[in-house]
Amino acid sequence: MSITRRSCLMLVLASMLSTFCLEQQVHAKDGPVRILFVTQSAGFRHGSVTRKEGNLSVSERVMTELAISTNEFRVDCTQDVTKDFTKEKLEHYDIVMFYTTGKLPIAEKDLDYFFNDWLKKKGHGFIGTHSAADTFKDYEPYWDMIGGSFNGHPWGSNSTVTITNHEPNHPIVKAWGEEITLKDEIYQFKNWQPEKVRVLMSLNMEKTSLKKPYHIPICWCKSYGQGKVFHMSLGHREDIWTNETYQKSILGGIRWIVGKEKGNSEPNPDLSEAQEALAKRVFDASQK
């Protein structure tokens, strides 16, 4: 075979190999999203993450069944971060989801990789549910990533509250409609960063019996480098997890993170400021 014919053949083979690799990459990207769902407790253990007789907890079962019914993602549930939340294991996932409490025993090098490389640079996603804001609540890199940290729950799990949806067309919260009334434990936050987050839902202080003179965000999202983050503080009660609307909201958030549905993540601090002013007016009026 001449050098010219051999060169041409090699170019053809290289082109075929390049096309094959590209097709494999596209197929992998278009395949089911991989989610690592961490439900480990290093503090208070919620009933929704408590495994009984070796079975999955309610929240884990909901996510597993949602994965099967939609075929849009695959989920691995863990309560052992020392084994499963490592640099090597994270490479297998597109999204990390926390329903956690306290200071989890994650190695600092793995946390640093998670924040700075896996999320910020590689453009993956993080979902925080309910007490995820209690996790590492005094560790700045974490609360800077998630947007704030737990600072008590004046509204207990049997509180009936009304929630305002500020963006009913956003994929994360459109399932809720413009307003919803339900029972759940409602958090207030410290280290709150309205200049870095987009608030999607808030506690309606006017329609809630317990009044407080400050804004209570319920759900928000944000960009974090090339990555995407959203936090939903609902989810203390098991019947919230089994609520179809809640599940649709989580699914909408997954679709938003991977780009299947579009939604704004630009910070809206003016909204937080307006909600803060409204809460103060409502609280002052309730004291007269």
Q: In this structure, is residue 188 part of a structural domain? A: yes
Separation in Å, CA 229 to CA 77, 105, 220, 223, 260: 19, 22, 8, 6, 15
Burial 72-102 (b: 16+ CB within 10 A, else e): ebebbbbbebeebbbeeebeebbbbbbbbbb
Measured N-to-C along each axis, helices 58-70 and 244-257 cross at an angle, to the nearest 10 degrees, of: 60
Output the six-digit token pair for 245.
């609307």
288 pLDDT tier (thresholds 50, 70, 90): confident
Q: In this structure, is residue 257 part of a structural domain? A: yes
Q: With contact defined as beta carbons under 8 Å apart, do 78 and 92 qualify?
A: no
d(CA 262, CA 252): 10
CATH number for position 194: 3.40.50.880
Q: What share of the chain is helix, strand, coil (3-state, %, to 5)?
A: 40, 20, 40
Q: In this structure, is residue 27 part of a structural domain? A: no
Q: How many domains does the chain have?
A: 1
Burial degree of 167 (CB within 10 A; 0-12, 13-18, 19+): buried
Q: In this structure, is residue 201 part of a structural domain? A: yes
Q: In this structure, is residue 142 part of a structural domain? A: yes
Beta-strand relationship, 125-129 and 95-98: parallel
Which helix (H) or strand (E) segment holds residue 217: the answer is strand 217-224
Q: In this structure, is residue 126 part of a structural domain? A: yes
For 14-49, write each residue's pLDDT tens digit: 333 333 333 333 233 467 899 999 999 999 999 999
Q: In this structure, is residue 11 part of a structural domain? A: no
pTM of the model: 0.89
Mean pLDDT, the chain, rounded, equals 90
Which range marks the domain in which residue 168 is found?
33-286
For 119-150, write each residue's pLDDT tens digit: 999 999 999 999 999 999 999 999 999 999 99
Q: In this structure, is residue 2 part of a structural domain? A: no
d(CA 167, CA 279): 19
